[in-house]
Amino acid sequence: MRKIAADIIYHYQTKQSYLNIELNAALEKTPLSREDKDLITRIVYGTVQNEIYLAYQLEPFIHGKIKAYERAVLLISFYQLIFLTKIPTYAVCNEAVDMIKKKYGMQRSKLMNAILRNFIRQGVRPIEAKDEFEYLSIETSTPLWLVKLLNKQLGKEKAVRICHSYLEKPSLAGRVNTLKASRDELLAQYETFKAGELSEDAVLFEKGNIAHHELFKSGKVTIQDESSQLVARFLDPKENSYVLDMCSAPGSKTTHLSALMKNTGKIEAYDIHAHKIQLIEMNAQRLGAENIMAHAMDSTQLRTIYPDETFDYLLLDAPCSGLGVIARKPEIKYQAPDSMDGIITLQTQLLEVAYHLLKKGGTMVYSTCTINKKENQMQMAKFMKQHPDMQCVKERLILPYEYHSDGFYMCKLTKGADNESNL
């Protein structure tokens, strides 16, 4: 079982692949019980969430070069020894040593045994840092550049809370599909659900997997974070409208728009990845959303097929750095800081297309699952400066720790209409 976890970490780090893809592929191949698969998942995600802290603990015991696979084994072993205290230490050590012995032979397995035994004997290493930023970085396994970015943009108190929230388990949220049911109806019938705190369409699932529930299979509930559920209501499209969703997959917000429109009008839903169109269509079919047309295309090229000022409403849920969803996708925090530069350029290109395709008097929402001002407030300020007829009606930033939800930004704008900003 631990070998599977070590293999996942090794492949994720050496191939620089997506963690969830490596995990899902590995779990599909194994006949282990649900309980064992859950433990593997916890070890894998826990190791990646705490990688900087674990590497700090490992550092004093490595006096020479170790192989990438050995490092993966050590990281998952240190995670178990520090965080999963109900697992016997001998089980962690014996299996780690056995894995290295089978792969590299007796000599390397002795080194593995010595490192683990020395750590168990000496205990957890206190954090010694040159300043409070480095301390927070090690403590929460948040890269130093990200700690400093959050501190600069949001202040010390919020930065500390955000970094700690990245290690917490986010809520298990679902959205009631109002095409088939009401939230009051479901709350009255099912004790496993409780009302969400942030979205009027949200229900919280206290344990288990919503995807296995009868309400999910029947299309009365779909999996969607509470913050994400606010986006469609921010746009608030009227019935019988013509709507463009520029970055739609997997279709959570698109199908929410359909529910708000009561299956009237038409929604053109686009995604650049052809294989994701099936996800949109499957979600729409399960939820009974019949006014969605899904297409595979690069949305920066949409002006080649639609005349300017075509759509009444437009949603641009833009590609972003994802700094609001790190609790769910911990590998995001280890991206290079300059990787955001290309994303910001792409956002700007998509916004330009959105501007031209929106009718005069039309409404659009720009949203991201990041909390980085360069991709949010600063992006909107630049956009409105370039297009003075675009006016911000309202905007909202949700930080990850506020509702145990994803961090999200959304801004509602109108084109060429007389509105008073309520910021």
Active-site amino acid positions: 369
- Would you say 409 and 396 are in contact if contact means Cβ atoms under 8 Å apart? yes
Q: Where are the alpha helices (DSSP H) in 105-225?
A: 106-122, 132-140, 144-154, 156-165, 183-189, 214-217
Rg of the chain over CA atoms, in angstroms? 24
- Phi/psi zone of residue 11: left (φ > 0), alpha (ψ -120 to 50 degrees), beta? alpha
Structure tokens at 25: 């592929």
- Would you say 362 and 331 are in contact if contact means Cβ atoms under 8 Å apart? no
- Phi/psi zone of residue 254: left (φ > 0), alpha (ψ -120 to 50 degrees), beta? alpha
Candidates 303, 416, 277; CA nearest to 359 is: 416
Candidates 255, 254, 260, 270; CA nearest to 240 is: 260
Q: Where are the alpha helices (DSSP H) in 30-105?
A: 34-49, 51-58, 68-83, 89-104
Q: What number of residues does the chain have?
A: 423
